[in-house]
């Protein structure tokens, strides 16, 4: 299992430090006072008995050297440093027991672990059911051995540590699935959180500190509960539409379709029952359904719409769980401006400040990489805006696309405003220059101006994938519902609006100057100060500001790969 932690230390998050909240400040103070609290536990007779009695000796034997741990304590060795940091200051006295009975904090801890499923996690990973049953038995006063008490106490601690880490960094290391997020730089001080939870008892609130700092996360959690409830409702369910239905077509027997659309929120309940034709409110409901699923809202129930209508609620719930897992992977640039590009949604969203209440400052369609040239998912820093850019044609495009065309028609160089360049010198338009290009002794670029493949502006964020955002002259592609047409870079629908938003902190670049630079033919690079966090994400479930949820196709098969990885981990 990937935990993202092994030393209990607090490290800087990717994209900057998280501002210290009042609660986190208290948690930090508790961590500093933990050794003192251990001294207080040892000070009195009862404390001395707890610290030096048989249960403490058994806890020390299990934590320090792994002597006879319960078989279920699978992560004991991986989290040994954290366990030592929690138990050692108290001379290994139990943390969740008093007089051999579970404390109120232990009861709250088992409740929190049992509710892990609300976040799309597995309570079984934290031994939630067994710990809850053991707590009830111990609370009744059943006779228990020191080993039983020690294993219960360690089990609660391990469960909380694992839950906090899974909640904060995710259950799967994203790099295993080619997601380039620096998850090791994203860390939560689980020792401080568990200490605070034990001493103050407000465990649910303290655990919430480990949740991702995105408004989207809480919206998805709410929709997960809704779709799980839908999956249990035998009165409604997915429907099979065997043939294409167009507005006005006779359609007897559409009651099931109408009930399903009403349950999903696309058809007002007042519209029920529906008549024997596919028309009126039912067509409008399908259009709403299509918009939520990234389909052309034409009201026609064709193959793609029918396929989406047939997906059961439990599969949609699974999509939400996968989206929650990926949100846990993301660096959290709290308090900063940020741009998020969601690949399956073909969408860019910019926010003025990342926090739990963030709303989009800008939202637009994008074109992303096709299956053979996928746009990668990673995090970076937008540092430069380039107006009237040259397009330096990638070598793969030169070899596979442009060279055959140039050999057939050398006049294409002038027609497409191409230049063959060696070093800083522009070579003459000749067959010899084309052969130099073929041999890799020269490169191909397209001059700024009308028709340039990058349009009027590009946005650069250093990354090993050589991916960037840019304008495009192919504006017609934004009208399509599915927009995977690029070689990997991301084409943006509203280049002027994005440039103005990005350079809003530069007083020397007002909108009129931006417009003039974009219309020019001289390449101009502008530094973005401060840089803007840019995160390319992959989520096939997205909750909107109005709390409607959108579902998208698994564009690159990443959902299927993540599901396989989670299933393998759980087996």
3-class secondary-structure state, position 422: strand
Q: What angle do CA 44, 48, 54 make, to 5 degrees?
A: 155
In tens digits, the chain (571 residues) has pLDDT values of 333 333 333 333 333 323 334 444 444 434 433 443 443 333 333 444 455 699 999 999 999 887 777 777 777 888 999 999 999 999 999 999 999 999 999 999 999 999 999 999 999 999 999 999 999 999 998 789 999 999 999 999 999 999 999 999 999 999 999 999 877 777 788 899 888 888 776 788 888 888 998 999 999 999 999 999 999 999 999 999 999 999 999 988 888 999 999 999 999 988 888 888 899 999 999 999 999 999 999 999 999 999 999 999 999 999 999 999 999 999 888 889 999 999 999 999 999 999 888 899 999 999 999 999 999 999 999 999 999 999 999 999 999 999 999 999 989 999 999 999 999 899 999 989 999 999 999 999 999 998 899 999 999 999 999 999 999 999 999 999 999 999 999 999 999 999 999 999 999 999 999 999 999 999 999 999 999 999 999 999 999 999 999 999 999 999 999 999 999 887 6
> Is omega for the bond preceding 150 within 30 degrees of 0, making it cis?
no
**pLDDT at position 188:** 80
Ranges of beta strands (E only) in 287-409 are 338-342, 347-351, 360-369, 377-387, 391-392
CB-CB contact of 534 with 380 (8 Å):
yes
Cα–Cα distance measured from residue 274 to residue 327, given in angstroms and rounded to the nearest whole number:
40
What is the Cα–Cα distance from 27 to 197, expressed in whole angstroms?
A: 9
- Please say whether the beta carbons of 382 and 376 come within 8 A: no
Q: Token pair for residue 164?
A: 């906090």
Q: In this structure, what are the phi and psi dihedrals at residue 441, rounded to the nearest 5 degrees?
A: -90, -5
User: Pick from 516, 395, 388: which is nearest to 455 by CA?
Assistant: 388
What kind and span of H or E run contains 420?
Answer: strand 418-422
Give dist(CA 298, CA 33) in Å, integer.
63
Asked whether the beta carbons of 301 and 245 are under 8 A apart, the reply is yes
Bridge-based pairing of strands 360-369 and 418-422 is unpaired
From CA 539, how far away is CA 536, in angstroms rounded? 10
> What are the backbone angles phi and psi of residue 277, rounded to the nearest 5°?
-125, 150
| CA nearest neighbour of 87 among 78, 96, 75, 98 | 96
Domain boundaries, the chain: 22-211, 238-311, 332-390+448-539, 396-447
Contacts of residue 217, defined as CB under 8 A and 6 or more positions apart, other chains included, come to 211, 324, 327
The DSSP-derived string for 325-349 is HHHHHS---BTS-EEEEETTTTEEE
Is the peptide bond between 329 and the residue preceding it cis, with omega within 30 degrees of 0?
Answer: no
pLDDT at position 511: 97
| 3-state helix/strand/coil string of 13-64 | CCCCCCCCCHHHHHHHHHHHHHHHHHHHHHHCHHHHHHHHCHHHHHHHHHHH
Number of neighbours of residue 168 by Cβ within 10 angstroms:
23
Residues 6+ apart with CB under 8 A from 280: 271
CATH number listed for the domain at residues 332-390+448-539: 2.40.440.10
- Nearest-CA neighbor of 84 among 33, 12, 8? 8
Residue 209 C-beta-side C-alpha neighbours within 13 Å: 26
CATH architecture entry for 238-311: Orthogonal Bundle (1.10)
């Amino acid at each position: 299992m990937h935990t993202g932690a092994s030393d209990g230390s607090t490290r800087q998050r990717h994209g900057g430090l998280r501002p210290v909240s009042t609660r986190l400040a208290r948690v930090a103070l508790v961590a500093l006072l933990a050794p003192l609290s251990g001294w207080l536990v040892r000070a009195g007779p009862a404390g001395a008995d707890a610290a030096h009695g048989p249960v403490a000796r058994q806890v020390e034997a299990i934590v320090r050297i792994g002597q006879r741990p319960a078989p279920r304590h699978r992560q004991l060795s991986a989290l040994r440093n954290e366990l030592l940091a929690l138990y050692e200051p108290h001379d290994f006295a139990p943390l969740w027991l008093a007089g051999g009975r579970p404390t109120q904090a232990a009861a709250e801890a088992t409740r929190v672990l049992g509710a892990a499923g609300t976040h799309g996690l597995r309570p079984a990973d934290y031994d939630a059911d067994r710990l809850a049953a053991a707590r009830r038995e111990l609370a009744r006063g059943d006779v228990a051995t020191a080993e039983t008490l020690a294993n219960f106490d360690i089990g609660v601690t391990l469960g909380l540590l694992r839950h906090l880490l899974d909640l904060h960094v995710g259950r799967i290391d994203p790099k295993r699935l080619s997601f380039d997020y620096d998850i090791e730089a994203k860390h939560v001080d689980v020792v401080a959180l568990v200490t605070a939870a034990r001493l103050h008892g407000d465990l649910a609130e303290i655990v919430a500190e480990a949740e991702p700092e995105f408004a989207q996360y809480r919206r998805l959690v709410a929709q997960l509960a809704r779709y799980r409830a839908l999956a249990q409702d035998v009165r409604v369910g997915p429907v099979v539409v065997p043939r294409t239905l167009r507005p006005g077509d006779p359609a007897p027997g559409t009651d099931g379709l109408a009930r399903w659309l009403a349950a999903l929120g696309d058809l007002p309940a007042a519209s029920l029952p529906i008549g024997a034709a596919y028309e009126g409110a039912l067509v409008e409901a399908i259009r709403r359904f299509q918009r939520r699923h990234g389909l052309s809202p034409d009201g026609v129930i064709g193959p793609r719409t029918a396929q989406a209508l047939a997906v059961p609620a439990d599969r949609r719930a699974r999509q939400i769980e996968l989206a929650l897992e990926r949100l846990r992977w993301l660096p959290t640039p709290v308090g900063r401006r940020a741009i998020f590009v969601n690949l399956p949604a073909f969408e860019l969203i910019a926010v003025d400040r990342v926090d739990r209440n963030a709303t989009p400052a800008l939202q637009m369609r994008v074109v992303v990489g096709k299956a053979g040239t996928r746009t990668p998912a990673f995090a970076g820093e937008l540092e430069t805006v380039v107006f009237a850019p040259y397009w330096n044609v990638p070598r793969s495009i030169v070899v596979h696309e442009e060279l055959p065309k140039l050999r057939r028609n050398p006049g294409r160089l002038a027609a497409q405003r191409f230049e063959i360049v060696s070093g800083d010198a522009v070579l003459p338009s000749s067959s010899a220059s084309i052969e130099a290009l073929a041999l890799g002794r020269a490169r191909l670029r397209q001059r700024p101006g009308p028709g340039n493949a990058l349009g009027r502006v590009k946005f650069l964020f250093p990354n090993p994938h050589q991916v960037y955002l840019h304008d495009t002259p192919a504006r017609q592609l934004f009208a399509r519902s599915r927009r995977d047409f690029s070689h990997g870079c991301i084409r943006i629908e509203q280049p002027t609006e994005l440039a103005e938003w990005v350079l809003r902190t530069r007083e020397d670049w007002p909108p009129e100057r931006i417009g003039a630079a974009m219309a020019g033919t001289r390449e101009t690079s502008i530094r973005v100060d401060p840089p803007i966090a840019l995160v390319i994400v992959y989520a096939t479930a997205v909750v909107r500001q109005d709390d409607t949820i959108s579902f998208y196709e698994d564009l690159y098969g990443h959902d299927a790969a993540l599901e396989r990885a989670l299933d393998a981990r759980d087996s």
